């Protein structure tokens, strides 16, 4: 079976510095794959390559068997791959409805319409309401994004990505800034929403190893721009060398 998303010998160089060096990985339908590693390991570079914000120096990226390297996030969204937008931080004055609508119009190829005209488009309004309900934001549609709690802002970030109707979604530290007690609830909401929306695979970039252990089918660890490990959770966390490299200490120590 052809993987949904695959990289082959993917590298990104900045002069003599190799931010990513020969990374090969594959994500298949039904998988939840976490990408972990210490600061400077290459996680952000990999995310930006996968989502088209950067073009690779060498190597290939395939989505459903077709090369997508450097296409850009809008073109990728139209093909069925999305990452969390974090539009809350870019456009804090937009309401919840307007933030979700910005993604909906991109998916529906109405991206040049003004937000002020969105209220008259029933199809867009219906989709916005549907997405908001999946994430429990239906009562906050008229609220400015900047007034949401941190947990609600995270939900809105991900709701915007889900509004693109992706087959693969990349969650870039969706629980950062969220209280520890709320993190598992947020992850359960995201996974439930993914299933309801027909998302076929999830890629998570996350520092919290408890979350990674709880929800991953596979864990890809990066170190100094290279793949250190690509394993299911049990053997991954049983290897003290891997854990010490990724988090700087043995898990649970």
Instruction: Please write the tens of the pLDDT for every residue from 12-26.
Output: 999 999 999 999 999
| Cα 5 to chain centroid, rounded | 13
pLDDT of residue 88: 64
| Residue 206 near residue 170, CB atoms below 8 Å | no
pLDDT of residue 142: 95
pLDDT of residue 121: 77
pLDDT of residue 172: 87
pLDDT of residue 165: 84
Contacts of 139 (CB under 8 A, 6+ apart): none
Contacts of 189 (CB under 8 A, 6+ apart): 135, 136, 155
Instruction: Please write the tens of the pLDDT for every residue from 70-98.
Output: 888 878 888 888 888 655 666 788 999 99
pLDDT of residue 179: 84
pLDDT of residue 112: 46
pLDDT of residue 62: 95
Q: Please tell me the pTM assigned to this model.
A: 0.86
- Averaged confidence pLDDT in the chain: 87
**Measured distance CA(215)–CA(210) in Å, rounded:** 9
Residues of the chain with pLDDT below 50 are: 112, 114, 116-117, 251-253
Could you list the beta-strand ranges (E) of 121-241: 168-172, 201-205, 218-223, 226-231
Q: CA 83, 210, 228, 239: dihedral to nearest 10 degrees?
A: -160
pLDDT of residue 249: 56
Axis-axis angle for helices 150-162, 122-134 (nearest 10): 130
| Residue 239 near residue 54, CB atoms below 8 Å | no
pLDDT of residue 116: 47
Domains assigned to the chain: 1-75+199-253 (3.40.50.300)
**Measured distance CA(221)–CA(36) in Å, rounded:** 5
SS3 28: coil
| Residue 245 near residue 221, CB atoms below 8 Å | yes
């Amino acid at each position: 079976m052809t993987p949904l998303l695959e990289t082959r010998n993917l590298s990104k160089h900045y002069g003599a510095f190799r931010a990513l060096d020969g990374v090969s990985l594959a994500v298949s339908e039904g998988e939840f794959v976490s990408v972990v590693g210490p600061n400077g390991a290459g996680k952000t570079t990999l995310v930006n390559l996968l989502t088209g914000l950067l073009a690779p120096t060498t190597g290939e990226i395939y989505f459903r068997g077709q090369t997508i390297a450097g296409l850009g996030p809008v073109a990728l969204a139209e093909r069925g791959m999305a990452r969390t937008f974090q539009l809350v931080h870019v456009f804090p004055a937009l309401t919840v409805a307007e933030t979700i609508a910005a993604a909906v119009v991109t998916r529906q190829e109405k991206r040049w319409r003004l937000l002020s005209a969105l209220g008259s488009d029933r199809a867009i309004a219906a989709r916005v309401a549907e997405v908001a309900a999946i994430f429990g934001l239906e009562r906050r549609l008229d609220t400015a994004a900047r007034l949401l709690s941190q947990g609600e802002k995270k939900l809105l970030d991900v709701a915007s990505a889900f509004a693109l109707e992706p087959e693969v979604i990349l969650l870039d530290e969706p629980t950062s800034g969220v209280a520890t007690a709320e993190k598992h609830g947020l992850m359960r909401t995201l996974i439930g929403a993914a299933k309801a929306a027909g998302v076929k695979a999830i890629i998570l970039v996350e520092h919290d190893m408890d979350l990674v252990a709880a929800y991953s089918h596979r864990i890809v660890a990066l170190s100094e721009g290279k793949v250190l490990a690509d394993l299911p959770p049990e053997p991954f966390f049983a290897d003290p060398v891997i854990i010490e490299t990724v988090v700087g200490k043995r898990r649970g120590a």
